[in-house]
Structure 1
Amino acid sequence: MATSGAEFLQRLTSRRRPQLPETLSGTIRLDLHDGGSTEHWYLTVHDQSLDVTRSPDDADLVVRADREVFDRLVDGRTEVVQSLMRNELTVQGEVRLLLALRRIFPGPVDARHPRDVARESLRR
């Protein structure tokens, strides 16, 4: 069953995330639009950790999109950069933080590690 963007963000716990660059720090606000309302999620990235709260406070980067786009992001059906290029989401602020979202949201369901692909090709 598909996971909604809000459910995914609720499950994110404050903990160390080694996939995030050590030197990356900043705040990201995700604005999930759904009809006439907007949910604000506030992510703080520091020391390879991620803290998630609900807040409309100003942030270093603000990402706005329809709830459906965020749902597809957390299901791995689309990626952040693809959605940006399709104009499905807009960003304002420090774009370098946008790449952190690629490391927070899951990748495509059928994604495989490049080393596994290389090993398979050697076996053939």
Structure 2
Amino acid sequence: MGTTVAQYLQQLDPGRRPDLPETTAGTLRLDVRGAGCTDHWYLTIADQHVRVTRSDDDAELMVRADRTVYDRMASGEMHVATALLRNELTVQGDLRLLMLLRRIFPGPPGARHPRELARAAMDGRAAMDGRFAVDGRDERS
């Protein structure tokens, strides 16, 4: 297994995250159950920044799961929505903040944003078109 949830959250860059909506702000508490205890991680999201602290204070969204589920999300092996649909993750509070959590955790290893794929496809098509054009004529004919 890759990165643990504790490692991932401790190393989370506090800088600006353009993948987060500018207008959405809120607080999330992640309750990580394991080894007979529960660890609490408190995320404050505002102005496309995420601040992570350790606290069991109430939050606008509280998310509970076993450590193995969170570890799989932190390593990109499991999507937040998948864990929710499998009932491996429970939530209480403002569900729109769950979509922010989806953006905070990484995607699968090697995954690319759809825009990157579209750009690569367009670049490939442009390269392909350029390969067949010679003096304004199409070599394919």
Runs of at least 5 residues in structure 1 that lack an aligned partner in the other structure:
none
Q: How does 1:32-111 map to 2 (within 5 A)?
A: 32-111=32-111
Instruction: For residue 112 of structure 1, report the CA deviation from its aligned partner.
Output: 2.5
Q: Deviations over 1:25-77 (max 9, x none)?
A: 11000000003100000000011111000000000000000000000001110
In structure 2, C-alpha distance between the alignment counterparts of 1:20 and 1:27, rounded to whole Å: 14
CA contact (8 A) 1:61 1:91 kept: yes
Residue 96 of structure 2 aligns to a residue in which SS?
helix
Aligned residues: 123
Q: Secondary structure at the match of 2:68?
A: helix
TM-score (norm 1): 0.91
Greater gyration radius: 2
3-state SS of 1:15 partner: coil
For residues 103 and 36 of structure 1, the distance between their equivalents in structure 2, rounded to whole angstroms, comes to 29
Highest RCO, 1 vs 2 (Cα 8 Å, sep ≥ 6): 1
* C-alpha distance in 1 between matches for 2:114 and 2:10: 31
Taking only the aligned residue pairs, the percentage that are identical comes to 58
Distance between the aligned counterparts of 1:26 and 1:52, measured in 2?
12
Corresponding residue for residue 10 of structure 1:
10
Question: Structure 1 residues 113, 47: CA separation in 2 closer, same or farther (over 3 Å shift)?
Answer: closer
Gap regions ≥5 residues in structure 2? 129-141
Offset at residue 13 of structure 1 (A):
3.4
TM-score for both structures, normalised by structure 2: 0.81
RMSD, aligned CA: 1.7
